[in-house]
A and B are shown apart, each in its own frame.
Chain A
Amino acid sequence: MTAQVQEPEVKSGAAGAKKFPGWDSRKYNYFEPKGRKATHYEDMTVDVQPDPERYLLQDWIISFADGTPTYSKDWTKLKSSDWHKFRAPDQEWERTHYQRQSTIVGMIKNVVDNARKSGAPARFDPRWVKILQDHLGAYKHAEYGLGKATMQAQRYGYTQMINNAILTNSSYKLRFSQDLTLYLSEIGMDLPVFDATAGKTHWMEDPIWQGVREATEAVMGATDYLEQYFATNVVFEPLVAELFRSGFIMQMAAAQNDFATPAVVSAAEADYEQNLANSVELFHLLAQDPEHGEANRQVMEGWLEKHGTLCVKAANQLQPVWSQPRVKVAQFNDALAAASNRLKAICAEIGIEVPAALTATTANDTQPAAEA
């Protein structure tokens, strides 16, 4: 005799508790991943901003007074045969963004706290302190301006991937502008003479900084969001921002007894590597677009000329700063040559030409400026 044991039906809401059509459909299935499998970033990002050309059955349902819909392809001169192709190489979504930002904040806090505890600011060369006060103090406004420009730009992109990449760019720039502000304020407390307001005065009035301010304002005032993104990462960053951060602060500081400032500034260099990777990926796609590549390259080369001219002028106006430290371990010409090469390398990756006029301006202007 065999006993009949009836299994009680398990009531469970867990995966696999029952098998029925669709029980194992456990991946987002509405987009084409860039690689063989969708990354977590893609799952978090793709198609959250909808598109009437994909799934938006009823089209955008509110428009601006002139009929422009909630999102429009006309907000940039660049065109794409597939705006949805772009994926940000940094793959940021909220969790990775906070982890990275928080790590940077912690790194800066440790460096600054330890420097102050050991009395380091008081051992900075006095001339270097004045440079930090006036020039790093002025430069922080450029970072802030670019942060505002990219914050504006993240409203306009045609896909979630583009807008989120610009959004994190803005977050990085605005954090760094605050990092510099608070860093200078704090070391100022350890120094007998330090005017935390001097930086803004130099930013607004010092002829050395007027070219940078003009170039920054040109990015802020551009009405094409991809022009803003392009001008920030392809033009301004290599020609002005890296020139100053890397070519001046990072190289000069140690010789002035300053180990803290390069660590603070290094955060921006790493931020830029991410933002640059995202930008190059996007602009490369657009420059090589099978339908619009040629026209896009012309537009980008136009932006390069417009912002490049301003940025080269700005870079040259900064040249006197290299003469101010007591111990001169870096040369402006070397820094500018590195910046120029960096620009050429970036443009080569995107697939656009650096306009001849811009290259000539770089070369020609270097010498007179160096003699100024």
Chain B
Amino acid sequence: MPDGLTLNKIIAQKGISIGEAARRVADLGWTPSYVQEAMTFPTDYKISKAPKDPMKQVLRSYFPMQEEKDNRVYGALDAALRGDMFRNVEPRWVEWMKLFLAIIPFPEISAARSMAMVGRLAPGDDLRTGFTMQMVDEFRHSTIQMNLKKWYMENYIDPAGFDITEAAFGKCYATSIGRQFGEAFVTGDAITAANIYLTVVAETAFTNTLFVAMPSEAARNGDYALPTVFLSVQSDESRHIGNGHSLLMSILNNPDNHQLLERDLKYAFWQNHAIVDAAIGTIIEYGTTNRDKNKESYAELWHRWIFEDYYRTYMLPLEKYGIKIHHDDVHEAFDRIVKKNYVHKVAQFFSAGWWANFWRIEAMTERDFEWFEHKYPGWYDEFGAWWENYAKLSKPGNPPITFVDTGYVYPHRCWSNLVPCLIREDIVVDEVDGEIFTYGHEVDRWTHKVAFQGEYQGRPTPAMGRFSGHREWESMYHGWDLADAIKDMGFVRPDGKTLIAQPHLSFEEKDMWTLDHVRGYEIKSPLITLRGMTPEQRDAHIAEYKKGFKVHKI
């Protein structure tokens, strides 16, 4: 065979270039003249410039590529079983997957639905293939995650909690926080939801902590399945980031949009921080048994992925287009993680209400304390006694820790992001439409009272969404007995009495709490209680709340 001649060269035939193929595919679109497409999902943005497709990929190369990625994922899952992964996996880690994987398939499929919204609004057809691939990608993510969850259920020592997963998603206070995330992709102003909140902020910034940082921690805990699935999922995200950026550039093109863009970047960044950092920060820091002091803490990961990578290289350059970026919010979010112990307070809250969970949380131990103190100096002073108490009260026969006088004050809940107002000094109370609400931070108050309204800074915003539903979980069970509420949620094992949640990882039946162990304690809604106070009582209560608390050893 002559030099340089290969089989590929012999059989190759002239084809069209990728750019030309993408151009011809984009030319499939036309402007209807018989019947106009209705703008069924409203937006207050004006988009006249057609977004360009940065990826220039066509579906005939997309599907085989995705099938190949799938083959690797499913092959790896088979290999994990053959390698007896579950014999060495850390239950502390897998328990948190009951929460995480109950939440994430809904935001994923919501992202698929949101492609309908941007697909209809974006002028031209250049980006339609990008939207199509993202729609099918998100269908992939949602169902591949349901598959992973089923796989854990079938192979992990304690399947309870996985078995009720989508029912639990509907009932749990913690999954509602995730639902705020998913519903925000598809409801209200279509560009606010499907472009800014979903692609420009959630996918471009926060999927790095969700789908890159978290899998690394999974691997450290003997779980090779989560990295396999989620790094494959993350490999799809670059397409979505490209879609989001391309549409953002079309929006930026019209200065009339800048005011709304500033509003939405502020809202979306803050709420993504509040929700994703609460969940993923807790899972990474508290779901692990690996206490290697050389690995990055969540605060360090956040600084790398969100501050350096996203804020500095994606958000800041938007200023040259005349967009006001709220630097103070970004710095404040970082301070909340580093200085105000946001993640630790969320973990403390999840453990305070362990009985309302559908996964187990075990107590932190001396080994954990040492690592936390190393990474977050001062941690032991604030949280050490809490976890020691938690360990002490973890066996049935004790009262649930929530109802023991440890000094802990059950928190109010933020009406905007549904995470409780855990940084006590930052709580804000305000009135909207004649009703009292509590917020975790001033930006959360602004989100509800200013951003999610029909007018913004004197400009009509008729497309903007509204907060609705029973946003405070505790108000659903105000005055209920703990045991009745747990039963109502269905967070009970098949024997009809043993709780799914346990404040430990013992698999001995004698160590497991039942409904009888939690009967006789009453749930109270902080919001209903607050609304029942006189203005003076309320002021005094909030002033006291802002002072915070000190947990003492019992």
- Spell out A's residues near B (CB within 8 Å): 12-18, 20-31, 40, 43-50, 54-65, 67, 69-70, 93-95, 97-99, 101-102, 104-106, 108-109, 113, 116-117, 140-141, 144, 147-148, 151-156, 160, 163-164, 167-168, 170-171, 174-175, 177-179, 181-182, 185-186, 189, 196-197, 200, 203-204, 213-214, 217-218, 220-221, 223
Contact = CB atoms under 8 A, between A and B. Distances in A.
B16 A25 contact: no
A45 B142 CA distance: 9
Interface stretch (B299-307, B393-401, B457-465): B457-465
Contacts of B42: 64-65
B159 A26 contact: yes
Max chain A CB contacts within 10 Å: which of B91, B136, B464? B136
B120 A98 contact: no
Contact of A214 (B34, B119, B165, B462): B34
Given A65-B188, A221-B36, A13 B466 contact: no
B131 interface: yes
Interface of B: 11, 13-16, 20-21, 24-25, 27-30, 32-38, 40-42, 58-60, 63-64, 66-67, 70, 74, 84, 86-91, 94, 105-106, 109, 112-117, 119-120, 128-129, 131-132, 135-136, 139-144, 146-147, 150, 153-160, 163-167, 169-171, 176, 179-180, 183-184, 186-188, 222, 418, 454, 462-471, 473, 476, 489-490, 493-495, 497-498, 500, 507-509, 512
B148 to A, nearest CB: 10
A13 B92 CA distance: 10
Nearest to B489: A57
Nearest to B497: A21
Contact of A171 (B11, B84, B91, B135): B135
A23 B158 contact: yes
Contact of B153 (A13, A26, A154, A181): A26
Contacts of A160: 109
A20 B507 contact: yes
A260 to B, nearest CB: 14
Contact of B32 (A18, A40, A217): A217
Contacts of A67: 466, 468
Given A25-B494, A63-B466, A174-B132, A98 B157 contact: no
B467 A25 contact: no
B463 A94 contact: no
Given A167-B139, A218-B35, A65 B466 contact: yes
B164 A155 contact: no
A109 to B, nearest CB: 7
15 contacts: A13-B91, A48-B146, A58-B469, A65-B464, A94-B70, A95-B74, A98-B70, A105-B63, A148-B128, A151-B115, A152-B116, A175-B60, A182-B16, A182-B21, A203-B30
Contacts of A220: 32, 35, 37
A56 B504 CA distance: 28
A54 B169 CA distance: 11
Nearest to B32: A217
B27 A214 contact: no
B183 A223 contact: no
B37 A221 contact: yes
Contact of A13 (B25, B58, B89, B117): B89
A221 B38 contact: yes
Given A106-B64, A141-B28, 8 more contacts: A26-B159, A55-B170, A58-B176, A65-B464, A70-B187, A102-B66, A105-B63, A178-B58
A23 B157 contact: yes
A22 B498 CA distance: 8
Given A46-B166, A181-B24, A22 B109 contact: no
Contact of B30 (A95, A104, A204): A204
Contact of A167 (B88, B136, B494, B512): B136
A219 B157 CA distance: 51
B516 to A, nearest CB: 13
Contact of A186 (B16, B63, B179): B16
Given A48-B106, A167-B139, A26 B170 contact: no
A13 B90 contact: yes
Given A26-B154, A61-B467, A116-B13, A44 B146 contact: yes
Given A22-B495, A48-B142, A59 B157 contact: no
Contact of A57 (B16, B63, B462, B470): B470
Contacts of B186: 70, 155
B147 A44 contact: yes
Contact of B27 (A47, A155, A200): A200
A304 B106 CA distance: 34
Nearest to B475: A58
A47 B179 CA distance: 14
Contact of A98 (B11, B33, B37, B67): B67
A101 to B, nearest CB: 4
A369 to B, nearest CB: 20
A174 B28 CA distance: 10
B463 A15 contact: no
A106 to B, nearest CB: 7
B35 A50 contact: no
Contacts of B155: 14-15
Nearest to B29: A144
B140 A94 contact: yes
B86 A15 contact: yes
